[in-house]
Amino acid sequence: MVPFFLQLALILLCSVFAFIVMMRKHRKYWPNRGIPSPTPQLISGNFGSLYGDYPSMFQLRDWTRQYGKQYGVQYGWRNALVISDPAMVHELLVTKFEYFHARNLSPIFGNLDTNKWISMFLARGGRWKRLRTIANPAFSVANLKKCMCLIDDSVKNAINFLEKARNKVEAFNIHRYFVEMSFDVIARVALGQRESRQFETEMAHLAIESTQKYNNTPFDYIGFAFPWFGIHFLEPFISWSGVLRKDPLFILKKQLIDELTARKKQRESGEQQQQRAQVDFIDLFLETEQNEQQQQQTEQCQNEGEAMLSKTALQRVEKRCTLEEITTQLLLFLLAGFDTSANTLSLVCHALALHAEVQAKVQEEIDSVCFDEDPTYEQLSQLKYTEAVVKETLRLLPIATNVLNRTCCQTTTLGDITVEKGTAVVCDILSLHHDKTVWGEDADEFRPERWLEAGGHQLPPFYAFGGGPRICIGMRFAMIEEKLALIRMLRKYSIVQTADTEKELTFSGQSVITPKSVTVGLKLRDEERHGTFE
């Protein structure tokens, strides 16, 4: 009889051997299909190179230069095809959306169909369609017009803080002011914060920490290396321990739950919120809260539509939210709504400081179009050159490209490549936006005029806000905020380059890249005109 400990040792040895054989076979997945690939590590694949201090947007660009417009990488056990060919990107996001309606997400989010704490950004299939449909009215033109006065008030307060900074020093990091302003905007519009509270709350800093950590933690590393463990063990542990670990995301989440609970009690007791002239996103979403029977019906549809988007199933579902979904929707708007706008405005200011001739054209357009003290929605829509400057900035540095990925829900093809179910597809938008065969020989140059020269002709593919049915729902909201900020700033100041202004910006973050510092000066336009500024 073989001793028990020898049997156990033999079983462990065979298990380790089988695991190594499986991993070695897995590493050859892309080479066996004739698709180039950077060499993956045994367990983590290429995950170590795609996350960490170096933004994955730049790592993908580096690999595209080395391997071409289609190559393979591995997120632990998950195979991912990286593409920057415009036809394949369009096919992925638009033409074959029903095959690629799910995002490529970390396993630590758990089961996307049964986890109660899933937002529109994370959801797939019927659940995504339901949440997207519910959220659409919040970003309608009619509602955006109602929001403009709140946005503009926060912008005016930000200008006051900029004036104080300008009076103290010649040059300063303007990014921190846009962070406070953008968070203030979304807190007022989405959460019903009554007054501007810039530099008065720690919530903005918690939100920054949350976005910086998204898909960039040891939990994500372990989850991709061991997906089953990530889904079934890490997800509940992270949810349970979030507040104990002082995770900024869970602290924000708890504050949102408290606000929602209080607001819900107000509504149930029949209290009318007449004090608040503005209807915020909390009000809009609480109108859609489900009862228990509706929730069971929704869960049934999500199971039916797990693999493919089922139109029949979607038609049967009453478009309502659970309280958990409302919380995560608000958290999504809070995080996505401030970080991208703050970063975009910072990059635009940096570009204008380096290109004074472009800034002069923007100021001329603002002076001629926005003649009212308070700009109107219609006037904002006429700022074509200003919008071109924002788009050109995001073309050169698309700050949120790491979220432009999908998971194949049913085996199909992209171009002439077979993509198996469960395979991720990642778009290298930075390379596409700099592709000289697409944008011309001046693709690397900052030239906003390219957006106006097209006339009635179709512009090259631009994916700074995503693409297809999952395009950024807050795109128009963001553009309103950014235009109002530029109007208020450039009416009063010119943004100037100083000795401390960075020639090349450095970035941190993964899902959204954030400039570490954007140092500029502000010169009063009256001083500029009269030559009194030295």
Binding residues for heme: 472
Contacts of 113 (CB under 8 A, 6+ apart): 124, 125, 127, 302, 303, 306
How far from 227 is each of 214, 220, 339, 411, CA to CA, in Å?
17, 10, 29, 20
| Full 3-state SS string of 318-373 | CCCECHHHHHHHHHHHHHHHHHHHHHHHHHHHHHHHHCHHHHHHHHHHHHHHCCCC
Sequence ranges of the binding site: 472
The residues facing 41 across adjacent strands are: 45
Residue 325 identity (one-letter amino acid): E
Residue indicated by tokens 């990925």: 405
Pairing label, strands 507-508, 417-419: unpaired
Distance CA(487)–CA(370), nearest Å, equals 8
Q: Which helix (H) or strand (E) holds 522?
A: strand 519-524
Question: What 8-state DSSP symbol labels residue 31?
Answer: G
Q: Determine contact, residues 313/480, Cβ cutoff 8 Å.
A: no
C-alpha dist (Å) from residue 236 to 107, 117, 231, 358: 12, 11, 8, 51
Neighbours of 406 (CB within 10 A): 26
DSSP type of residue 138 = G
- Pair 341, 512: CB distance under 8 Å: no
C-alpha separations of 481 from 150, 299, 375, 398 in Å: 10, 36, 12, 18
